[in-house]
């Protein structure tokens, strides 16, 4: 009830709009592509500690964070198109 007018106002529950759902699906698809690219960078040896004059245990532990951020940068600059395919598949599944 509105305290000024004394009239009760209906409670409106806001259903997530399609754009909110699309944004969430797109972000999930981009993260999946980034994870895939991070694993590919790992297989390629990116972020591997050099045998001599390496940073030790600390460098080994944080190399995965560096690879993940490099992969996210790749996705933000266009990636390999995997996010688009994943987005379409996720959207199709959510509409079932």
Predicted confidence at residue 63, as pLDDT, reads 85
6 within a domain of the structure (yes/no): no
pLDDT of 24 reads 92
pLDDT digits (tens, 9 = 90+) for 24-75: 999 999 999 999 999 999 999 876 766 666 667 777 778 889 899 999 999 9
The confidence score (pLDDT) of residue 45 equals: 83
CB 75 within 8 A of CB 33: yes
State how far the alpha carbon of 12 is from the alpha carbons of 9, 15, 17, 21, 28, in Å. 9, 9, 14, 19, 28
Inside any domain, residue 8: no
Number of domains in the chain: 1
Alpha carbon distance 93, 79 (integer Å):
23
CA distance 50 to 43: 15
Residue 5 resides in a domain: no
pLDDT at site 16: 47
pLDDT value at residue 49: 67
- The verdict on residue 4 lying in a domain is no
Residues 12-35 have a mean pLDDT of: 81
Give the pLDDT confidence score for residue 50 in this predicted structure: 66
Range of the domain at 67: 18-94
């Amino acid at each position: 009830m509105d305290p000024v007018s004394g009239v009760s106002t209906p409670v409106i529950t806001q259903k997530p709009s399609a754009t909110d759902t699309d944004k969430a699906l797109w972000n999930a698809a981009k993260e999946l592509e980034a994870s895939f690219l991070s694993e590919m960078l790992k297989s390629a040896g990116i972020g591997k500690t050099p045998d001599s004059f390496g940073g030790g245990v600390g460098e080994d532990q944080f190399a995965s964070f560096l690879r993940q951020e490099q992969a996210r940068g790749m996705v933000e600059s266009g990636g390999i198109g995997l996010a688009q395919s994943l987005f379409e598949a996720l959207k199709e599944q959510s509409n079932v």
